[in-house]
Homo-oligomer: A and B are copies of this chain.
Amino acid sequence: MQEERRLAVLRAIVQDYVETREPVGSKTLVERHRLGVSPATIRNDMAALEEEGLITQPHTSAGRVPTDAGYRLFVDRLTAIKPMSAGERRAIATFLDGAVDLDDVVQRSVRLLAQLTHQVAIVQYPTLSGSTVRHVELVAIAPSRLLVVLILSTGRVEQRLVEVPADQPAPSEDELADLRRQMLGLVSGARIADAVASLRGLPETISPAQQEVAGQLVEALVEAMSDHRSEGRVAVGGTANLARFGDSFDSSLKPLLEALEEHVVLLKLLGEAGASPAVTVRIGAEGPLQELSSTSVVASGYGPGSDALAALGIVGPTRMDYPGTIAAVRAVARYVSAILNET
């Protein structure tokens, strides 16, 4: 009974604090929320909540502020994710549907997320490892210059140039076509990880004269498949929203800006969110970086199919609108996944 009201008080504190950015006192609380009791009662509840470590007061004569644990409880139990309005859904859909290719999808998603949440948005490019091979093409650009093209199920196209060494015979059109057929047979439709394994064995089955060249081609293809750069690539947007950070400027802005430059760090921030299509919330010091202990991360996996391919999300102050943010992240993740499924 009182327990219920206490949680209601916590919810009210979180909501008010997020909105006003100021420690919230017992009096203003009863004024703004219909709690049906007097300030004195609220004070008792607050004392209890503080005892439990859910709220704290910056200084003696100030109101209360949620702790990380307070936000945690709020997120886990006190909030129903408010669904996006029809208008918002439509806006998301039309905005993302205009994308022409994978890169465009990612870039639009970042903008969209930043705009919806008013936070810094991060979108990881879909990793190759989870996707499958749609097509492989070999092209002789010049007698001794071969272009290897790899097309993946995500729509990504990778290409590599291969130079045939001067002391090697350049493969003929027919030989090339044959090689291509063999490659396709091995990898078409296969997942990247499997494709790499199959390819490794290919050169041995080829006529010795062409083994050298085939080896090089396979090498290029494997490299394209395990391309580290696109594997770890992320897009960042909405950094201008940092200007609203306000107070915690000096203390947390610099490490955050530094983190945003380092894609590796960002991937660490998104963390295991990429593993599942559910929204993950990391509050304050729960995150992997102690420098960012006053920021939270709301992230979700996305990708075609039910197991996520990559992650997207936002970074913001612990004092953020969690329900709205979670809803936005979830919505964008779903729409992007849907789009990736179509193509």
Contacts and interface: CB of A to CB of B under 8 A. Distances in A.
Interface of A: 103-104, 135, 137, 139, 141-142, 147, 149, 151, 157, 159, 229, 237-240, 242-243, 249-250, 253-254, 257-258, 260-261
- Main secondary structure on A side of the interface with B: helix
Q: Could you say which of A139, A149, A240 has the most chain B C-beta atoms within 10 Å of its C-beta?
A: A240
Copies in the complex: 2
B135 A141 contact: yes
The 10 lowest CB-CB distance pairs between A and B, nearest first, are A243-B254, A240-B257, A240-B258, A137-B139, A135-B141, A239-B257, A139-B139, A157-B159, A240-B261, A243-B257
Contacts of A261: 237-240
A163 to B, nearest CB: 13
A239 B240 contact: no
Contacts of A135: 141-142
A240 B257 CA distance: 5
A129 to B, nearest CB: 20
Contacts of A243: 250, 253-254, 257
A273 B81 CA distance: 50
Contact of A137 (B104, B147, B239, B242): B147
Nearest to A140: B137
A308 to B, nearest CB: 26
A243 B253 CA distance: 7
A239 B260 contact: yes
Contacts of A237: 261
A159 B141 CA distance: 14
A250 B104 CA distance: 32
A172 to B, nearest CB: 14
A312 B250 CA distance: 29
Contact of A139 (B149, B239, B249, B260): B149
